[in-house]
A and B are shown apart, each in its own frame.
Chain A
Amino acid sequence: MPEPQWHTVATTAELPAGGRKLVSIEGKSIGLFNVHGEIVAVLDVCPHELAPVCRGRVSGTTLPSAPGEYCWGREGEILACPWHGWEFDLTTGRCLVDEKLRLRRYPVEVVGDEVRVAL
């Protein structure tokens, strides 16, 4: 395995809390998200039908609850695919509806005001 290469792809100013930026690294479309101050990088391909998942809605979601009750939480942590709406946990990459599926995530480091992604 070749060593991952670090790529500087954004500045911290471009990714304020709740912010998002789509970048291209080595021909791959990758989404950067600032989730509660932590920047995460995920491949812009949905594991279901390969949609550009990073264009989807980022929001919270309804947490498990009793019938007829709604409990909203995890605001800013959930990415919903723009095609079929499957939800993904940006903090882990896990798909909320299928534990076998996850988003492909890449290591991120912030150096000064530069955001770097390892690919």
Chain B
Amino acid sequence: MAAQPFIVDSDIHNVVAGKSIQHRLAEPHRSRFASGNRGPGHLGYWNPNGVMRADTKLPDGRKIENQPETLVEHVLEPYGISYGILNPGGMGLGLCPDADYANALLAAENAAIAEEWLTVDRRLKGSILVNPNDPEAAAAEIHRWGDHPDFVQVLLPSGARMGYGQRYFNPIYAAACDHGLPVAIHPGTEGVGLSGAPTAAGYPSTYFEWHTDLAGSYLAHLVSLVAEGTFQRFPALRFILVEGGVSWLPPILWRLDKNWKALRLSTPWLERPPSETVCEHVFLTTQPIEEPPRREQLHQLLAMFPAERMLLFSSDFPHWDGDTPDFAARQLPEALRARVLGQSAAELYGLPGVVHA
């Protein structure tokens, strides 16, 4: 029998109970939250299957994603996942126009994660949720948790007012680098609250169209980070594109390099072909992995960039478009499996190879 692969799941969505947030809020935020006002809202796009998988309710009525114990027992253990990175739903709260309320909710959710989740099982690792629209407050929140051994990244929503390469965000990157933490972005808030329209062509009509277009948001952020020189300003910065798709990356790297040859004069801080910088600083998660008609087409695509370094397995549990580790492993060429399933993530997040719960 083949040895169990070492697996790190870089995108699990736990749900933090409202009551865990509420009692950590000071007034007037507590009353506001208790009234049901929870932040930036959403555009109301409709997924007919629900965004959450329909089968996570246990016989006792609890949902797997709502408690750390059930997440470990029903997701990590059955699939042999050594570590799961928690990316809770509150990640987009910074798109609430009221920054003070957003900051209070984010701080409360981080505290709830630290005290109610990360203490339960060392296999669960946290993301520091911060407000991109208040970079100084975001930096303070990063400093608050940055040396906690079980927070392993900073998480931002990919729905944004502007490209994440803009210097406005520098305090966030400086703080993350101070603690050696990578910064991740996650989709789902495109078009919500303070963010711009969800696509360059405005507002699509359906969830199907909105969701398919999410790659556009990732493309814009990646090119922004490159062109603005973010990785020259912050040479230690590592940036993770979570759930933004994979297949669009090689052509945009080629286009970046081609345009750089002609237009380098306008961005003189880019001293090398930009694709080289991307391949050193940027990571992508697998899910929802593209499923082309023939698997070798995916393999060809994965040979067009250093996937063995950049690509990290993610399940997206319990969302409707998740991938299980065994399914993802079957899509990958043999030579990439160990790196993608766990080794690259362990290096990136600084996780030891063997874990004792």
Contacts and interface: CB of A to CB of B under 8 A. Distances in A.
Nearest to B48: A85
B313 to A, nearest CB: 14
B53 interface: yes
Nearest to B326: A50
A68 to B, nearest CB: 10
B49 A50 contact: no
A81 B191 CA distance: 28
Interface of B: 47-49, 53-55, 320-324, 327
A84 B321 contact: yes
Contact of A55 (B49, B55, B322, B324): B55
Contact of B54 (A49, A50, A56): A56
8 contacts: A52-B55, A56-B55, A57-B49, A82-B55, A84-B49, A84-B321, A85-B47, A85-B320
A75 to B, nearest CB: 15
Contacts of A49: 323-324, 327
Contacts of A115: none
Contacts of A10: none
Question: What DSSP secondary structure best describes chain B's contact surface?
Answer: loop
Interface of A: 49-52, 55-57, 80, 82-85
A55 B54 contact: yes
Nearest to A53: B55
A80 B53 CA distance: 11
Contacts of B320: 83-85
A84 B321 CA distance: 5
Find the residue from B48, B49, B321, B324 having the highest chain A CB count within 10 A.
Answer: B49
Find the residue from B55, B320, B322 having the highest chain A CB count within 10 A.
Answer: B55
